[in-house]
Structure 1
């Protein structure tokens, strides 16, 4: 079912007076897979502001699990409630903090673990745009509306007249308790007065020992409360401590109820301060309008001209890239450090770093569009390093979950420093990336790396993927050392960046696993998939990981035997349809062996440029842009992974993408938009134009940069920051002389 983007004036909120860029955003894209499709994006449609702590969104399952990691699935038919924290596009469920659910009529005695107040809903009664969400809860005939600021969720409930009004308040709501050993360690609810409740929960799961504090204010007095904690119940409680707290709050004669929920990761006092600073008055419509204005400002950093469908996909993708990382510091600068103490920073402190994914495209996009925040992201990682001993791998709510392999804070920080992003101490950054490349930790086993020059599979699984990804991280350390004149360090890490060659089997023509004796481990099948342990490849196979040498593509070409052999192997890769019986769930969006639904494939279509066949890059990039993205709930070919699939579209639709994420160089693909203009940090504009572009005209015939003939297949960050116009003339047939 195609979802129509809401473009009209919303009388209920007064948010829109005319068409804006926010009107192109369709938050329902990527929220539910089509029949027969394994993945859709795992995005949620609820209310949030750019990079905010609060993501106030409906949960369509009482117990979210792996199949609905963001809490919402478009194909579900009921809503369990509205919780205040969510992950956008991840493959693991987590957060879902402080869930509220309005209901009318009689209170129902709830069985522990069950939710008697969940309600059916219909998509025709559902509206979402940046900073706003609403739905009609059919069971209760209640209209629920949501908006948000950085630290505060704002609810508006319209109850049916003449019926008792209640709010179900759930501190036990979480992902499936059996996943990641999830459990509530402690929680508390305190009834401060008849308009205010506050408390906390301490929960462990994918992110260990998360502390979530809340301060909640209601526009109507609480007439009565009934609290349960497992099998215990409390009537008109003042304070309850427990591990499964759920409460029903009764409101007399409340046809309209407003609720403000302030969050903090550090204290109840800071949750209250966050609320008072961001939503001091009961102005729901004004908060909606402010959220829309904030989103309009952020989306305006790129102005594009294309078809309505292209604009809808593009601005929704840009919206998704600006949802995370998430600020975790309070308005006073306090934040939860990894040592479980409270620190303070004069600049915002961020978390939610899905680095195995986002270092590839999302963070390079931030250096173009969010340079100030790029510095904040890097500095947040450096502060984390000071407390934790090495840089984050996959950091969530201020804590490390050790998900995925490598240590890809390194390319993010190196990229920001190499590009001259102001506000980062380059020497401190180098010390952090160097030490994080030497100290043993679960993501990267450096002792055996130094000993063997590769990772032996019999000592550490996922060994081939680890070897390839660690080699890239080492390259990034080397480049930063070179910039700072640290010759000895440069020599050490550039040597390690070539260790990828030690797992190349020239006879087989693939990277494959060795043991600690240097012997190949067989049998080897380049089509066989690995997941997240127990096999040499991570969420992929030998075909997909063969191309992962983004820092030394020419070296990889030489291993294969030159440009012709390299291009021929790419041809086979994009046309080989064979599938093993078991394909990892993250592998989706196939073109041959190319799997756009998972990040290790993302740069591969651009590699034809390096072998002198850019028209094939243009062909496959065009195909991916058109086949792997659409405007429905199944609009993505895989998990969006905190904006990485979205970032690929934003870059590629404009006509370029970073094969080497820390190189400051972008490889040209093929633009599908008529025009795209980037607002650079210096105040200049950089415009990409595509003359004669159409569904048929996907091949570049010629190009000019600032009016001069341009034949390179790359464009640099400095070119873009300087401003100007890159203009392509497009045609229906390849121009094999343009390279």
Structure 2
């Protein structure tokens, strides 16, 4: 070897080393990239071509916080912008402090702030005016958002608005044009469109505390009845003058004003070019508690410090699941996880005070949570919480039990601590039972059983238990939505039975297990569908399995007979038997996913269609996984992969339907990891087709559960083989114990179905 050769070879080694080091540094940089950088709050904020989008807001909030500070693009938000914001709008009415995430109905929008210059500007040709006159046009080119932060330029006033939040407070930063007539309005009459849901402001008050602060309240009724919202607000600049307005009556430099149509307009000096900062905290109890919340959570005027703190809170929560995939997949995944962790909301004050459902003040050490969209979230969001939010799960369950203690039964749809009875069934029951059976600490198991049992025998809107016991189905002429009610109440009863069994309450177990089989009483063998009967046990006619129902006046809730044909999660084997066995069951599933005929009056909640499958609404969410129960898991893999790739994206229309307080997102989070809770309270997760090359779920500081699919690509969607903790694994499900024990589930993926993997009877899901 000559010297020159040695130099060449040494150079090659150095080059190779440099390339390797560069690759490692690049990989390290990608690995160390903050997870919050993948969150895109604009996903799901606006429909394209008339589709549903998610109904999400882009504003600032922290995980499970009481305050959601976000722009409202409507002066009176309605159903089509239930979160207050629509990405297709170009006008902002103001920034209110409470919002619902992804719901199909509007409410909240409390304590709206809006900065403006005070200069009268004509808006010739602009048809979108608001009654207040202080709104502004804006452009998405001058708008940005990330976890815990929102920014927009108000074009009509040349004001840059920045927002951030803590658990109970919002923080505003307004940069006005220098020497402009800087004004800030606070609107206590801003709400959903009146008189929808009987919405009206019953009482409101402004009280000037000093030349930097104002406090007050409003009592309002709407979708949530009779909400009390107290606030305390401070500004960094002196309020030069105020105009307190009640309806059309102005009251200049007045210290106190009571009424029902209140606005306060404050003037500020911005000649120094420095921004106007505003901090406002909320409470359900008092203005004193609102001030305590503010002093505790934002003690200084460092806006960007609060932004950083919000980002850190989100990073901590998102780190509970770390995934490896494409940049687009990670953007969808972490935005989904972000949306799942927005609610339920802890609206107890920092001292533990909160207003209970009976309007008395209670105190708690573990937080009091509300915003329970249970008809949606019991399916996947709450099972996800039991895995990665066990402490908060105890808070959720204890908050539900608190309602039971005062109100007599568990929540149906609880908002701002009040019951609004939206949707059907008793789906706090599976949430409570699931948490208890999984051993979630901090829950009184005997009290939990008392709550679920009594909630299953007490008549209330949406669950007519006397008819249930008498007929063993719900007759349509007693209560509409009868087929959906029968199927969903049967599932809830199965959940009660499982907790009774754990507590050795044999008689209760047998009674509720018998009721859980009531679904069979509405199955029509001739048509092959669950159909409505009247009290005389005769089938209701005419019958069209494609006919949609909404929320009353039809046997089906936000769906049709095709979509509800599969809702027996507690006894899929029994459903297969009713259908005629595995072959007929899978053949009918094949038809379900390919039958494109639709009636003229498809319900507005129905979207995201694959045949009759409608991913945009929750009754369909488990159906793709049912092939596993009948020995054709490769079809589950195909449809799960299809939904993830086609019905989720990174645009403003990123969801196939209303996001519904985390359920649409939780479906993706579970499915992208590779499994889903078909029966949410069973502790069994049915395997689909993992989308990520790697998913690591952090269960404790020292324990993780990892799913590997290193050769997963857009084409490689089919499972070829699997191993669990290094051993060959052929089951098409995993259990709660498999996950909580920690370990590794590894898949080999391919572009063609392996029709031998997971097809044996013993490999099928057990529950």
Q: Which category of TM-score, normalised to the shorter sequence, fits these structures?
A: over 0.9
Could you tell me how far 1:229 is from its partner in structure 2? 1.1
Tell me what 2:233 maps to: 216
Could you tell me how far 1:18 is from its partner in structure 2? 7.8
Does the 8 A contact of 1:455 with 1:464 survive in 2?
Answer: yes
Tell me what 2:27 maps to: none
SS state of the match for residue 536, structure 2?
coil
Could you tell me how far 1:470 is from its partner in structure 2? 0.2
Could you tell me how far 1:681 is from its partner in structure 2? 3.2
Tell me what 2:672 maps to: 653
Tell me what 2:17 maps to: none
Does the 8 A contact of 1:43 with 1:70 survive in 2?
Answer: yes
- Pairing 1:116–2:115 present: no
Tell me what 1:81 maps to: 94
Does the 8 A contact of 2:377 with 2:660 survive in 1?
Answer: yes
Counterpart Cα distance in 2 of 1:206 and 1:525: 33
Superposed, 1:251-400 pairs within 5 Å as 251-253=268-270, 255=273, 256-400=275-419
Counterpart Cα distance in 2 of 1:396 and 1:352: 5
Tell me what 2:75 maps to: 62
Could you tell me how far 1:115 is from its partner in structure 2? 2.1
Larger radius of gyration: 2
Superposed, 1:114-153 pairs within 5 Å as 114-153=131-170
SS state of the match for residue 680, structure 1?
strand
SS state of the match for residue 623, structure 1?
helix
Could you tell me how far 1:233 is from its partner in structure 2? 1.9
Could you tell me how far 1:215 is from its partner in structure 2? 0.2
Does the 8 A contact of 1:681 with 1:721 survive in 2?
Answer: no
Q: Deviations over 1:168-193 (max 9, x none)?
A: 11000000002101000000011111
Counterpart Cα distance in 1 of 2:710 and 2:416: 46
Tell me what 1:638 maps to: 657
> For 1:103, which of 88, 94, 116 is the aligned residue?
116
Tell me what 2:720 maps to: 701
Does the 8 A contact of 1:700 with 1:729 survive in 2?
Answer: yes
SS state of the match for residue 200, structure 1?
strand
- List runs of 5+ in structure 1 lacking aligned partners: 1-16
Misfit runs of 4+, over 3 Å: 105-109
- Pairing 1:178–2:195 present: yes
SS state of the match for residue 312, structure 2?
helix
Counterpart Cα distance in 2 of 1:203 and 1:178: 12
Could you tell me how far 1:105 is from its partner in structure 2? 3.4
Superposed, 1:241-260 pairs within 5 Å as 241-253=258-270, 255=273, 256-260=275-279
Tell me what 1:512 maps to: 531
SS state of the match for residue 691, structure 1?
coil
Q: Deviations over 1:482-514 (max 9, x none)?
A: 011111110110000000000000011000000
Could you tell me how far 1:682 is from its partner in structure 2? 6.4
Residue-pair matches, total: 723
Could you tell me how far 1:631 is from its partner in structure 2? 0.4
- Pairing 1:431–2:450 present: yes
> For 1:22, which of 36, 46, 52 is the aligned residue?
36
Does the 8 A contact of 1:132 with 1:145 survive in 2?
Answer: yes
- Pairing 1:403–2:417 present: no
Q: RMSD value over aligned CA atoms? A: 1.6
Q: Deviations over 1:352-410 (max 9, x none)?
A: 00000000000000001100000100000001110111000000000000000001000
Superposed, 1:23-38 pairs within 5 Å as 23-37=37-51
Tell me what 1:522 maps to: 541
Q: Deviations over 1:618-655 (max 9, x none)?
A: 00000011111000000000000001000000000110
Q: Deviations over 1:224-255 (max 9, x none)?
A: 11121113221111110000101211112364
SS state of the match for residue 174, structure 1?
coil
Counterpart Cα distance in 2 of 1:18 and 1:206: 44
Counterpart Cα distance in 2 of 1:28 and 1:113: 24
Tell me what 1:6 maps to: none
Tell me what 1:623 maps to: 642
Counterpart Cα distance in 2 of 1:717 and 1:326: 26
SS state of the match for residue 191, structure 1?
strand
> For 2:177, which of 160, 173, 182 is the aligned residue?
160
Counterpart Cα distance in 2 of 1:613 and 1:647: 24
SS state of the match for residue 211, structure 1?
strand
Q: Deviations over 1:426-480 (max 9, x none)?
A: 0000000000000110021100000000000011000000000000000000001
Does the 8 A contact of 1:183 with 1:203 survive in 2?
Answer: yes
Counterpart Cα distance in 2 of 1:619 and 1:19: 32
Could you tell me how far 1:692 is from its partner in structure 2? 1.3
Counterpart Cα distance in 2 of 1:621 and 1:460: 35
Could you tell me how far 1:266 is from its partner in structure 2? 1.0
Q: TM-score, normalised by structure 2?
A: 0.93
> For 1:575, which of 583, 594, 599 is the aligned residue?
594
Q: Deviations over 1:534-554 (max 9, x none)?
A: 000000000000100001000
> For 1:420, which of 439, 453, 474 is the aligned residue?
439
Q: Deviations over 1:714-733 (max 9, x none)?
A: 01111111111100000000
Counterpart Cα distance in 1 of 2:620 and 2:366: 35
Tell me what 1:584 maps to: 603
Tell me what 2:735 maps to: 716
SS state of the match for residue 294, structure 2?
helix
Counterpart Cα distance in 2 of 1:148 and 1:36: 32
> For 1:545, which of 529, 554, 564 is the aligned residue?
564
More displaced 10-residue stretch of structure 1: 687-696 or 581-590: 687-696
- Pairing 1:205–2:222 present: yes
Tell me what 1:678 maps to: 697
SS state of the match for residue 467, structure 1?
helix
Does the 8 A contact of 1:550 with 1:659 survive in 2?
Answer: yes
Tell me what 1:487 maps to: 506
Tell me what 2:519 maps to: 500
Does the 8 A contact of 1:573 with 1:593 survive in 2?
Answer: yes
Counterpart Cα distance in 2 of 1:137 and 1:614: 53
Does the 8 A contact of 2:117 with 2:180 survive in 1?
Answer: yes
Counterpart Cα distance in 2 of 1:100 and 1:267: 20
Does the 8 A contact of 1:682 with 1:721 survive in 2?
Answer: no
Does the 8 A contact of 1:371 with 1:681 survive in 2?
Answer: no
